Chain A
Amino acid sequence: MTANGSVRPSYAQIRAWLDAMPIEALDVKRREAELLFRRIGITFAVYGEGGDPERLIPFDLIPRIIAAEEWARMSRGLTQRVRALNAFLADIYGNGEILRAGKVPEELVFKNESWRPEMQGMQPAAGAWTHVAGIDIVRVDADQFYVLEDNCRTPSGVSYMLENREAMLRLFPDLVSSHRIAPVARYPEELLETLKSAAPPACRSDPTVVLLTPGPLNSAYYEHSFLADEMGVELVEGADLFVDDGLVWMRTTEGPKRVDVIYRRIDDEYLDPLSFKPDSMLGVAGLFAAYRAGAVTIANAVGTGIADDKAVYPYVPEMIRFYLGEEPLLQNVPTYLCGRPDDRAYVLDRLHELVVKEARGSGGYGMLIGPHSTAAQRDKFTALIKARPEDYVAQPTLALSTVPCFVESGIAPRHVDLRPFVLVGRDIRIIPGGLTRVAMREGSLVVNSSQGGGTKDTWVLES
């Protein structure tokens, strides 16, 4: 829906379909969808909330529609942004031109926990750093897309993009076939091609790719096993791999097999007890050394967190100008860094109208939504910001657009964002669409699944 309450033209058919469908029928379909997702086993463990770790993420039946020309604009902006983020990583771990030019403050990088000095001088194969990037986008009006945050480490959620389409095909085959929707099913194949294209140059044969997971206790384990399965590669844990003769090997029933590319879904610090956290049991001893010696590709590269840090985010438009000589096609939300005295004073003055986030946090934890906050919550954040100002950033709340959703009370507008997945190997590929997350509570702006957000299918229409 647009700001003035009218329905976008691309929703015309959905409108007619909803008008013709009794609410009771939708309710039946909703229960059917839930059964479907339970049977697949797609669940999401919620950190720090207790309760049912096997909770389903609510699935909204009404698809979100993106017109072809909207998508074309968005995907140009995504390609531009991700090219700049990769250039930034190559530069930060290389010559540091952007620091020397004074465009990004040196201490913001070198004192940042996400910067890894161990990576200095590294030149990953194919120049690819963020093999999979998830860029969270919101729309405020017909032409304005804002990036809320970049996810350059191990972004998750793509399995929902694929399963949501699968569910819609089963629940509403006629509605799906009455639209010309860009397919998403090729994602695993494109991901595998991307990973193979970034194999070490020394790898001469068809590269062996594995997916490294922390194990079944991880909240995204379902996605790890799903993607490994869809790509037809081995799902491994740290104990399944070892380093010998300078190379990385996988234990198999037929003996050791050489590994060329590791799509890892574990954090930097846990990759290798020899180079990082010494007490980590999840990683592989010697893996980082083999990586630095060029024997294996780790995707995403180690140390990419510096590109998606919330305190670095305000500088992304400058990166686009600096590395590409272009004006940003996607907007940045104005961001105040509480580590800067002027910004801090401004933020503390206007807590009731700002969103305050932890600079290193993710998943919507430790967040203050000013307009919906109590005086006690604001007092708590005032104390937190004063104690550790560098740890907090603040942004104005945006007048987000809404899309129709099927909620308890019937069909109602809800705020959404979109996480498209951008693949970076020898070239950049984007599957049309992404994961649409829905703030299921009325008026809420928080879409994180850990905060009770839901998802819905995203249809990019072909022109």
Chain B
Amino acid sequence: MKLRIRHETAHDYEAPSASTVQLIRLTPRSHGGQRVRYWRVGDGSWPSFEDGFGNWTQFRAVQRPHGRVRVVAEGEVETVDTQGVLRDTRETLPVGAYLRETGRTHPDDAIRALAEDVLRSANTELDRLHTLMQLVRDKVDWVVGATESTTTAAEALAHGRGVCQDHAQLFCSAARLLGMPARYVSGYFWPGEDGRDEPASHAWAEGFVPALGWVGFDAANRQCPTDRYVRVAIGLDSFAAAPVHGVHFGSGADSLAVTVRVDADQ
């Protein structure tokens, strides 16, 4: 499948901001399930580096008074369905590094209980991850606006409501408790022409199964990623894989508008 993507993030500041600095992880890389035909972030001039997880990262600063900061990423990616199994991804860290807890994925008793439920009802590693995916979605209703970008996995579970980011982080937290390396993925999902939802930035998780390697699990949609997914950035949690993360200095309020468009040629 050929997916054409345009992602625009615009921050508008009520009073001019004196300074904005942004980290931008919006560049997908090619691997077994996807081939990047072309891709462009901004005007292509922003300095960049490969971060610790292998994400191609741009950073840009605006150091003069400004009312709006806009980031546009667009391009075309060809995908094939691999039933969620990943091949030839860029790997910078040993698998064991993805057992690390972070502030946003730190488990509490409720997450521990969730992990024990998984242990009781599934035997193989792959089964456990599938069971976990369903359980996470059972326990956390998909409700937009119920959580914030800084909500932790434990908070989302306690709350019982959240978005894909919360599902993915909860999945990572519980999988690590089960001794299975897991990581957070940010990217895009094409819901299909009949899809109820608007296309948007999406997030899911990957778990490591020794016999298969990394396997994707989209708890929010209760499925392993297909050719409708474009994988962009990975990290230990949503902070490390955030598509656009900025710091600005200014007095006024700011508003954020994110527009994502995904078109498919089947």
Could you mark each residue 34-72 of chain A with 1 if its beta carbon is under 8 Å from any beta carbon of chain B, else 0? 000000000000000000000000000000000000000
A117 to B100, Cβ gap below 8 A? yes
Could you mark each residue 260-295 of chain A with 1 if its beta carbon is under 8 Å from any beta carbon of chain B, else 0? 000000000000011100100000011001101111
Interface centre among A96, A122, A278, A293 (most CB of B within 10 A): A293
A121 to B246, Cβ gap below 8 A? no
A107-B99, A117-B93, A242-B63 are known contacts. Are A274 and B21 too (CB-CB below 8 A)?
Answer: yes
> What residues on A are CB-neighbors of B61 within 8 Å?
242-245, 285-286
- A109 CB to closest chain B CB, in angstroms? 8
**Interface status of A111 (Cβ within 8 A of chain B):** yes
Complex Cα distance, B57 from A290, in Å, reads 11
Q: Can you sample 16 A-B contacts with CB below 8 Å?
A: A110-B94, A110-B97, A117-B53, A117-B97, A117-B240, A120-B52, A121-B54, A122-B52, A245-B61, A246-B46, A274-B23, A278-B247, A286-B61, A289-B49, A292-B49, A292-B57
Complex Cα distance, B49 from A290, in Å, reads 9
Task: Report the nearest B residue to A246, measured CB to CB.
Answer: B47
A106-B96, A285-B247 are known contacts. Are A245 and B47 too (CB-CB below 8 A)?
Answer: yes
A289 to B57, Cβ gap below 8 A? yes
Residues of chain A touching chain B, judged by Cβ–Cβ distance below 8 Å, are: 96, 99-100, 106-107, 110-111, 116-122, 242-246, 273-275, 278, 285-286, 289-290, 292-295
B93 to A295, Cβ gap below 8 A? no
Could you mark each residue 49-78 of chain B with 1 if its beta carbon is under 8 Å from any beta carbon of chain A, else 0? 111111001010101000000000000000
Complex Cα distance, B57 from A246, in Å, reads 12
**Interface status of B19 (Cβ within 8 A of chain A):** yes
Task: Report the nearest B residue to A112, measured CB to CB.
Answer: B100
A121 to B52, Cβ gap below 8 A? yes
- B115 CB to closest chain A CB, in angstroms? 17
Task: Report the nearest B residue to A95, measured CB to CB.
Answer: B94
**Interface status of B251 (Cβ within 8 A of chain A):** no
Task: Report the nearest A residue to B20, measured CB to CB.
Answer: A285
**Interface status of B92 (Cβ within 8 A of chain A):** yes
A274-B247, A286-B61 are known contacts. Are A120 and B23 too (CB-CB below 8 A)?
Answer: no
**Interface status of B154 (Cβ within 8 A of chain A):** no
Top 5 nearest A-B pairs (CB, nearest first) are A246-B47, A120-B52, A289-B59, A286-B21, A285-B21
Complex Cα distance, B44 from A108, in Å, reads 40
Task: Report the nearest A residue to B239, measured CB to CB.
Answer: A278
> What residues on B are CB-neighbors of A285 within 8 Å?
19, 21, 61, 247
B100 to A290, Cβ gap below 8 A? no
Complex Cα distance, B61 from A43, in Å, reads 39
A120 to B92, Cβ gap below 8 A? yes
A121 to B94, Cβ gap below 8 A? no
Task: Report the nearest A residue to B99, measured CB to CB.
Answer: A110
**Interface status of B236 (Cβ within 8 A of chain A):** yes
Could you mark each residue 75-95 of chain B with 1 if its beta carbon is under 8 Å from any beta carbon of chain A, else 0? 000000000000000001110
B51 to A118, Cβ gap below 8 A? yes
B23 to A275, Cβ gap below 8 A? yes
> What residues on B are CB-neighbors of A243 within 8 Å?
21, 59, 61
- What number of B residues sit within 8 Å (CB to CB) of A? 30
For the complex with contacts A273-B247, A292-B57, 14 further pairs of A-B residues with Cβ separation under 8 Å are A110-B97, A110-B100, A116-B52, A118-B51, A120-B97, A121-B50, A246-B59, A285-B21, A286-B59, A289-B23, A289-B57, A289-B59, A293-B47, A294-B49
**Interface status of B245 (Cβ within 8 A of chain A):** yes
**Interface status of B259 (Cβ within 8 A of chain A):** no
> What residues on A are CB-neighbors of B49 within 8 Å?
289, 292-294
Complex Cα distance, B21 from A119, in Å, reads 20
Complex Cα distance, B169 from A458, in Å, reads 54
> What residues on B are CB-neighbors of A96 within 8 Å?
94
Interchain CB contact (< 8 A) of B63 among A111, A244, A246: A244
Q: Report B195-245 residues with CB < 8 Å from chain A CB.
A: 236, 240, 245
Complex Cα distance, B22 from A243, in Å, reads 11
A120 to B53, Cβ gap below 8 A? yes
- B18 CB to closest chain A CB, in angstroms? 10
Interchain CB contact (< 8 A) of B99 among A99, A111, A292: A111
Interchain CB contact (< 8 A) of A107 among B57, B96, B236, B246: B96
Complex Cα distance, B57 from A434, in Å, reads 42
> What residues on B are CB-neighbors of A121 within 8 Å?
50, 52, 54, 92
> What residues on B are CB-neighbors of A293 within 8 Å?
47-49, 59
Task: Report the nearest A residue to B50, measured CB to CB.
Answer: A121
Task: Report the nearest A residue to B248, measured CB to CB.
Answer: A285
> What residues on A are CB-neighbors of B99 within 8 Å?
107, 110-111
Complex Cα distance, B94 from A245, in Å, reads 33
> What residues on A are CB-neighbors of B247 within 8 Å?
273-274, 278, 285-286
Complex Cα distance, B97 from A106, in Å, reads 8
Interchain CB contact (< 8 A) of A106 among B47, B53, B59, B94: B94
Complex Cα distance, B176 from A107, in Å, reads 12
B96 to A110, Cβ gap below 8 A? yes
Could you mark each residue 244-260 of chain B with 1 if its beta carbon is under 8 Å from any beta carbon of chain A, else 0? 01110000000000000
Task: Report the nearest B residue to A278, measured CB to CB.
Answer: B247
Task: Report the nearest B residue to A119, measured CB to CB.
Answer: B52
- B89 CB to closest chain A CB, in angstroms? 15
> What residues on A are CB-neighbors of B51 within 8 Å?
118, 292
> What residues on A are CB-neighbors of B53 within 8 Å?
117, 120
> What residues on B are CB-neighbors of A122 within 8 Å?
52
B52 to A274, Cβ gap below 8 A? no
B94 to A99, Cβ gap below 8 A? yes
